[in-house]
Amino acid sequence: MIEDHGGLMAKIAIDRPAQPHQDIGFHLDLAFSIDPGETVALLGPNGAGKSTTVQLLAGLLSLDRGQISLGGRVLDRAGNGADQLFVPPENRHIGVVFQDYLLFDHLSVLDNVAFGPVSRGTSRREAKVSAAKLLELVGLSALAGSRPTALSGGQAQRVALARALATEPDLLLLDEPLSALDVTTRVELRAMLTAHLALFEGPILLISHDPAEAFGLADRILVLEDGRLTQAGTVDEIRRRPASRYAAALTGVNTLTGVSDRGAITLDDSRQHLQTFDRTSGSVQVTIDPRAVAVYRRAPEGSPRNSWSTTIEAIEPLGDIMRLQLGAPLPLLADITPGAVSDLSLKPGQTVWVSIKATEVLATKTGDDPEKNLDD
Amino acid sequence: MTVKRDAAATGSKRRRSHRSADSRTPWPLAVLAAVASTIFVVPLIGLIGSAPWRDLPNLIADEIVVDAIGLSLVSSLVAAMLSVILGVPLAWVLSRSRFPGQRLLRAVVTLPMVLPPVVGGAALLFALGRRGIIGEPLAEATGFVLPFSLWGVIVANTFVAMPFLVVTVEGAFDSVDRRYEAAAATLGANRFTVFRRISLPMIAPSLRAGLVLAWARALGEFGATITFAGNLSGRTQTLPLAVFVALEADRPRALAISLLLVVVSIVVLVTLRDQWWRR
């Protein structure tokens, strides 16, 4: 059923019935796999079950249903009697970089990194030598003798990574590795993390609620909402066709609903019409990438199907692009280059023309909408 | 260091500037608090005031007193060590394991803290005495008799002192951030390694406090000791017992030993201040 492909295969389910003091129980149910050398991000809002997933994989919680295997070795299998299997965390060979790093304050930085190998039976001297090498790799040799309390957030993060890598794990789990850091440090560390993750040969699972972190580091994204995977795909796939309102909000994709009549869509809220290339009929969710929304000073020539005039409500810089918030008749986000903003001398309050190619209007029948499925 | 001192200085200045607003004491509280203070201050004054200061060195150098000092030191230190060696694992089990009868066990362990020590000594006698349910077979099999020996003093001291260590350390284990132990486990540390290299160092301040409390309690032990181990000068007569005997026969000696114990207690309080009384 499960092949040995050297990576992580996880089919995870947890059922926590409602408690007297909690109105709802918690159910986590997801399946995914990660190939060696691949970085997958598990992205979801708070309370979606991300931390529980980390604990299940690390062996700090046991499965109610399902199975976890790593490199062909079963780590946890729910079941009755002889079928059941649970490998305790110390025997899993999974490196975890925890959200708050959880460095041991009573040990020096060097001893923190050497802790794993020493616990696994490596001699103290040998472990310290390899720990010193890892500290050099993350650029912290000078702090080997310091206590973790003396470190900055960024330094602590690097020590935590070195400590996890020191055990030569078969899987690396990164729990919100950058979220506790300030913005400047985050940008620096993301670059460092990218470099180190590229060297790691096993599968990597990155847990995050920050799209910038996930999109920047991962090859593939799993979107976890309310204990279930609502979407899995590359960053680009999720950006083009977000399967839920949450995923759309993450990527800034415009999400609208309406009724399609063989490609002629009437939107629910604004009664505005949009033309799409997709000829299906019925209730649809419409997504439009902000980069596909073109902005002009005057009515565009030719015959774009979807074109109307609107006002700019706000302009905000977003990395190396500018994001426009467009007002009535159809509130949309449009991403354009800063050059275009100055060339067209765009300002908030200004009237502009918008045009969207029919091929950029993506309609998905809402019968298949995973968000609807969540409600049952 | 300087930063800390500055912070403390501004703190005290702030407190002083608010003095008029919030440190006026209602008179009924002031009167009762004064009475309460008297209860503690007067006996100390009595002790210090009637102390035979000039003869003090001679009184303490007396053979009986020196014997009692030696016995007290040995028995209280051994009891404190036993409390740590046995009490820390017990505290861990009470804090972390789940088993039937756990609450009952916790109650039984803390019982010596509230039980009159004489009753504790009697209980020890009925269990471990020459005619006791364990003592009798033990004596028959090995010839080893606990009561009225140094080991009897140590057992009585441990019985009374260990609960202080267990309660302190169990509370510390309860409040350890378990995520650090989880982190250690993911790094490959087995349960015992986690205990030894993570949990124990994390509770070190509480362990020190518990150790000093247990030792101080053992040093002052009277009721259980005199009941279980008797009052044999040079064999089981510890300092508190020597005070008791001297009060009848030789008051200056009683005063000298009492002063010695007061000094030791103050040293303990000062040692503990940073870990135990810090607010």
pLDDT digits (tens, 9 = 90+) for B195-210: 999 999 999 999 999 9
pLDDT computed for residue A366 by the predictor: 67
In a domain, B5, yes or no: no
- Decide if B34 is inside a domain: no
Q: What kind and span of H or E run contains A228?
A: strand A228-233
In this prediction, residue A262 carries a pLDDT of: 78
Residue B47 within any structural domain of the chain: no
Cβ-Cβ contacts under 8 Å, B188 against chain A = 90-91, 93, 116-117, 119-120, 167
Chain A's closest residue to B192, CA to CA, is: A119
Chain B residues in contact with A96 by the CB 8 A cut-off are: 183, 186
Contact call for B182 and A92, based on CB within 8 A = no
Q: Which chain B residues are closer than 8 Å to A167 by Cβ?
A: 187-188
d(CA B145, CA B149): 8
Output the tens digit of pLDDT for each of chain A's 376 residues. Answer: 444 567 888 888 888 776 666 566 788 899 999 999 899 999 988 888 888 999 999 999 999 889 999 988 999 998 887 888 999 999 999 999 998 899 999 999 999 999 999 999 999 999 999 999 999 988 899 999 999 999 998 899 999 999 999 999 999 999 988 777 776 677 677 778 888 888 889 999 999 887 767 777 888 999 998 889 988 988 778 876 777 777 777 777 777 778 887 777 777 776 777 777 777 778 877 778 777 888 887 777 765 678 888 888 877 766 566 778 888 777 888 888 777 777 777 778 888 888 888 777 777 776 544 443 333 3
Q: What is the mean pLDDT of residues B84-93?
A: 97
Where helices occur in B176-222 by DSSP H, the ranges are 178-186, 191-194, 200-202, 204-219
Identify from A86, A106, A130, A163 which residue to disrupt to test chain B contact, counting B C-beta atoms within 10 A and taking the largest count: A106
Mean pLDDT score, B235-243: 92
Q: Please indicate, yes or no, if residue B3 is contained in any of the structural domains.
A: no
Q: What is the pLDDT of residue B142?
A: 87
The domain tally of chain B equals: 1
Q: Could you tell me if A216 lies within 8 Å of chain B, comparing CB atoms?
A: no
| Closest alpha carbon within chain B to A61 | B182
Q: Which residues of B touch A (CB under 8 A)?
A: 179-180, 182-190, 193, 197-198, 201-202, 204
**B6 Cα to chain A: minimum distance (Å):** 21
Which of B187, B193, B197 shows the shortest C-beta gap to A167? B187
What's the CA gap between B37 and A81, in Å, rounded? Answer: 67
Q: pLDDT tens digits for B145-201?
A: 888 899 999 999 999 999 999 999 999 999 999 999 999 999 999 999 999 999 999
Q: Give the minimum alpha-carbon distance from B199 to chain A in angstroms, rounded to a whole number.
A: 10
Q: Which of B218, B63, B234 is nearest to B148 (CA)?
A: B234
Q: What is the dihedral of CA B112, B114, B118, B123, to 10 degrees?
A: -40
Q: Residue A16 has what DSSP assignment? A: E
Task: Tell me how long chain B is.
Answer: 279
Compute the nearest-CA separation of B197 from chain A (Å).
9
pLDDT score of A6:
72
pLDDT given at position A309: 80
Predicted structure pTM score: 0.75
Residues in CB range of A71: below 8 A, 6 or more apart: A4, A6, A7, A170
Contact A60 B186 (CB under 8 A): yes
- Inter-chain touch A98–B204, beta carbons under 8 Å: no
Nearest in space to B68 (alpha carbons), one of B278, B264, B269: B264
Interface test with A, best of B179, B181, B186 (most A CBs within 10 A): B186
Say what the pLDDT of residue A80 is.
80
Q: B33 vs B12, which has greater pLDDT?
A: B33
Query: What pLDDT does B221 receive?
Result: 93
User: From the CB of residue A310, how many other CB atoms can be counted at a distance below 10 Å?
Assistant: 20
A92, B187: Cβ pair inside 8 Å?
no
How confident is the prediction for chain B on average, in pLDDT? 88
More confident residue, B87 or B58: B87
DSSP structural state of residue A143? G
What percent of chain B is predicted at pLDDT more than 90?
A: 63
- Residue A95, chain B, CB below 8 Å: the answer is yes
Q: Classify residue B106: in a domain, yes or no.
A: yes
Q: Are A117 and A166 in contact (CB under 8 A)?
A: yes
Dump pLDDT digits (tens) for B34-82.
Answer: 999 999 999 999 998 888 888 888 888 888 889 999 999 999 999 999 9
CA distance B104 to chain A (A): 27
Residue B271 pLDDT > 80? no
User: How distant, in Å, are the alpha carbons of A34, A194, A206, A214 from that of A219?
Assistant: 10, 11, 10, 9
* pLDDT for the residue B268: 79
Chain B residue numbers touching A60 (CB-CB < 8 A): 182, 185-186
Residue B145 located in a structural domain: yes
Model pLDDT, residue B12: 44
Q: All domains of chain A, ordered by start, with CATH?
A: 8-103+151-240 (3.40.50.300), 254-374 (2.40.50.100)
Give the residue, A285 or B219, on which the prediction is more confident: B219
The b/e string for B142-152 (b: 16+ C-beta within 10 A; e otherwise) is eeebbbbbbbb
Sign, Cα dihedral of B236, B238, B241, B246:
positive
Structural domain contains residue B17: no
- Range of the structural domain that residue B76 is part of: 56-277
Q: Does any domain span residue B265?
A: yes
**pLDDT > 70: percent of chain B:** 90
Query: How many contacts, defined by CB atoms under 8 Å, are there between A and B?
Result: 62
Task: Supply the CATH number for residue B134's domain.
Answer: 1.10.3720.10
CB atoms within 10 A of CB B55: 13
Chain B positions touching A119 (Cβ under 8 A) are 184, 187-190, 193, 197
Can you tell me the distance from the alpha carbon of B276 to that of A66, in angstroms, rounded to the nearest whole number? 48
Residue B21: the pLDDT is 60
